[in-house]
Amino acid sequence: MQKIIEKNYKIIILILLSFIFVVSVLNAGNDSLIYDEAAHIPAGYSYLVAHDMRLNPEHPPLLKDLSALPLLFIQPKFDIAADFWTKDNADASQWNAGKSFLFASGNNADQIIFWSRLPIILISLLLGFFIFKWTRELAGVTAGIFALTLYSFDPNILGHNHFVTTDIGIAAFITFAFYYFLRFIKEPTKKNVFLAGIFLGLVQLVKFSSVLAFPVFGLIILLYPLIKMHGHKSRLHCLGEYLAKGFLVFLISFVVVYVFYFFNTYQMPQEKLPEIINHYFKPYDTRPINVYAREALFWMNGREALMPMADYLFGVARVFQRVAGGNITYFLGEISTQGFLSYFPVIFLIKEPLSLIFLIVFSLAISIFAIIKTTINEPRKIIHFIHYLRTQVIEFSMLLFIAIYASTSITGRLNIGLRHLLPIFPFIYILVSIGIFRFIRKTHHINKYIVYTILIATLGILISGTLSSYPYYTSYFNSLGGGPTQGYKFATDSNADWGQDLKRLKIFLEAHPEITKIKIDYFGMADLDYYIPGRYEKWWASKRPIEPGWYAISALFLQEGIYDQKKSDSESYRWLKNKKPLYQVGTSILIYHIVPQKDK
């Protein structure tokens, strides 16, 4: 089998990447505008045509720039005289820009949304190829194909790789940054220093959580020269060389950040950033972090040469402020803004395919067994640890990043979806594949066939489960979570309901002419009048009296409306708690029919 794979690996790669592309393009056309895209799509277009980052400055510009590139050929109308550009506050402006740009300017909203999503799909294909490439370099062609297969058939990848958000983008660029940085660590040539700096800069332009890679990179720069084989050089000389070249890598990265921010902001009025700062970092807030952030940002913005970096550092400060502040979260029958320590571990266990979880456990068991065996045979642990770092610094770096990123996510308050763990997913696929196939190489001939049989069966379960869940990958849950249709009972937001099913509601209503008007409480930014004009009446949890008729309730609003204990029964959806919906549109919109009291 291994020989067949190695002989035909290019064809297999093409098939796997074609599968990702076809499924993603279909979903890009069928899924409605999701919540975050309403801010990201107009923001990206404004950066390219107006070179002004007043919209959505809390995220870096690179992915939004790339998503907006196809729109330059469409040339949609973008009204910089509208209130969202001239009057609205920093928070309202980004959402009102989405409403205006997509649905109120005479533009073709579906065309804009689809073409904006295409660059993200292409980035996901490039990430898939990189996962194969890196795994092949570390453990061979078959391991590379195995890692790419895990990536290609992970429903959570397919659920997010066609949206204009930062999630797949950060997963891709953090992988690229690690690849080129660790190439520099292994071979600190001028070329590798340059490439490491470029990609370290690019990842900072994708998402601010990329700063969590810095401790890993800093530690490796300090540690690796002290344990590598030096030849005629002393350890201190080698350390000094690495520190100097590492500084150059970081310097190049900040030059990249500066250049991109300058391009995106050079027509932004100098007084605009202070307005945005005052909106998010209130002048009356006397907490030290708020005071120091304001002082630093105002000082930098007051110097024209530093204005691009002021915009960049505002985004960094804003993200840390948001994480500390939390978000309203429904999780396992509770509502909280303080976050749940169990959130990400549980979400991972109920949203990732069980076959992939099995492979992770299998790979960990192999690694633990090898460590125990080595320790028993040779008790000088420190020597083995040094040898491990010297020969497997790449795997160590991946594991360290996974540990830092996962622990930061678990202890943070921003519990709004498994998607926030996507940056560690490529490293999981790579490490699992390396661990399993290194084990196979050392295994007895008969045992190899047993392991291959287990792997083939596991991949078969993964692939069949993913295919059977099409097209509901955004709301994918494994059988522990009740599957895509029942997962909203465990968690909502981007795990289950991100506004992706409004176009499916339109199709549903066309198939049910008996529903002349439906009361709708829709979680999303797609415009109801654009898709179902004249067929709906707006509804919300506290609206009274409860009237007979048809109701379409988004899963997020339903769960928050039922389980928010701060709301009285008269302000909630608890009257729907024990009612079974007649239909489920997509997976996120539940349809109820309430009959008059006298007919009961």
Asked if residue 80 belongs to a domain, the reply is no
Average pLDDT over residues 468-491: 97
In the predicted structure, residue 236 carries a pLDDT above the cut 90: no
Is residue 386 included in any domain, yes or no?
no
Model pLDDT, residue 596: 85
Tell me how long the chain is.
Answer: 600
Judge whether 317 lies within some domain: yes
Q: In the prediction, which pLDDT does 232 show? A: 67
- Condensed to tens digits (0 to 9), the pLDDT of residues 56-98 reads 998 999 999 999 999 999 999 999 999 999 999 988 999 999 9
pLDDT at site 319: 79
Share above pLDDT 90 across residues of the chain, in percent, rounded to a whole number: 81
Instruction: Pick the more confident residue, 105 or 376.
Output: 105
Strand-pair partners of 519:
537, 551
Span 435-446, average pLDDT = 85
Give the pLDDT of residue 600: 41
pLDDT at residue 599 tops 60: no
Instruction: For residue 250, give every residue at least 6 positions away whose Cβ sits within 8 Å of its Cβ, in sequence order, or none.
Output: 197, 200
477: pLDDT strictly greater than 50: yes
Local confidence band at 374 (pLDDT 50, 70, 90 cut-offs) = low
Q: Is the pLDDT of residue 228 over 90?
A: no
**Which of 332-336, 385-389, 449-453, 485-489 has the least mean pLDDT?**
385-389
Instruction: Assess if residue 517 is contained within a domain.
Output: yes
Is it the case that residue 277 has pLDDT exceeding 70? yes
Asked if residue 18 has pLDDT above 70, the reply is yes
- Phi/psi for 564 (5° steps) reads -75, 105
In our burial notation (b when 16+ CB lie closer than 10 A, e otherwise), range 292-320 reads: ebbeebeebbeeeeebbbbbbbbbbbbbe
The pLDDT value given to residue 391: 81
Q: Which of 285, 304, 325 is the last residue of a domain?
A: 325
User: What pLDDT score does 434 carry?
Assistant: 96
Q: In whole angstroms, give the CA distance from residue 25 to residue 122.
A: 10
Asked if omega into 471 is within 30° of 0 (cis), the reply is: yes
pLDDT-above-70 percentage for the chain: 96
Q: What is the pLDDT of residue 378?
A: 61
pLDDT band of 444, cuts 50, 70, 90: confident
pLDDT attached to residue 235: 83
**Does residue 3 fall inside a structural domain?**
no
Note the pLDDT tens digit of each residue in 207-224.
998 999 999 999 999 999
Contact between residue 487 and residue 468 where contact means Cβ atoms under 8 Å apart: no
From the list 107, 39, 54, 47, the residue with the least C-alpha distance to 85 is: 54
Q: What is the mean pLDDT of residues 469-498?
A: 97
- Output the DSSP codes for 368-390: HHHHHHHHHH---HHHHHHHHHH
Burial letters 503-532, b for 16+ CB under 10 A, else e: bbbbebbeeeeebeebbbbbbbbbbbebbb
Is 282 a member of any domain?
yes
More confident residue, 372 or 582: 582
Measured CA angle at 191 (ends 187, 196), to 5 deg: 75
Final residue of a structural domain among 291, 309, 325? 325
Examine residue 533 and say whether the peptide bond preceding it is cis (omega within 30 degrees of 0): no
Of 574, 585, 514, 600, the C-alpha closest to 552 is 585
Task: Measure Cα distances from 464 to 37, 347, 386, 476 in Å.
Answer: 30, 22, 42, 14
Q: Which of 234-238, 420-424, 519-523, 573-577 has the lowest mean pLDDT?
A: 234-238
pLDDT at 379 over 60: no
Q: What is the pLDDT of residue 337?
A: 87
Structure tokens at 572: 């909630």
CB burial of residue 575 (10 Å; 0-12, 13-18, 19+): middle
- Please report the pLDDT score of residue 382 as a whole number: 59
Per DSSP, the three-state class of 472 is coil
What pLDDT score was predicted for residue 369? 79
Measure the CA–CA gap between 159 and 425, rounded to whole angstroms.
14
What average pLDDT is seen over the chain? 93
Residue 234's pLDDT is 82
Whose tokens are 């506290």? That residue is 542
What is the predicted pLDDT for the residue at 252?
Answer: 98
Name the residue range of residue 319's domain. 269-325
Residues whose CB falls within 8 Å of the CB of residue 11, separated by 6 or more in sequence, listed in order: none
Spatial distance between the Cα atoms of 264 and 260, rounded to a whole number of angstroms: 6
Residue 560 lies in a domain: yes
- Of 71-80, 398-407, 440-449, 574-583, minimum mean pLDDT range: 440-449
pLDDT score recorded for residue 214: 95
Per-residue pLDDT of 484-512, as tens digits, reads 999 999 999 999 999 999 999 999 999 99
Confidence category of residue 384, pLDDT binned at 50, 70, 90: low
Name the band, by pLDDT with cuts 50, 70 and 90, for residue 362.
very high
Q: Please check the confidence at residue 532 and state whether its pLDDT lies above 60.
A: yes
Any domain includes 111: no
Rounded Cα distance between 235 and 465, Å, is 52
Q: CA angle 35-36-41, nearest 5°?
A: 115
Domain boundary among 304, 325, 346: 325
Give the CA radius of gyration of the chain: 26
In the block, which residue shows the tokens 């002048």?
283
Closest Cα to residue 56, out of 11, 9, 29, 88? 88
Question: Mind listing the pLDDT tens digit for each residue in 305-321?
Answer: 999 999 999 998 887 77
The number of folded domains in the chain is 2
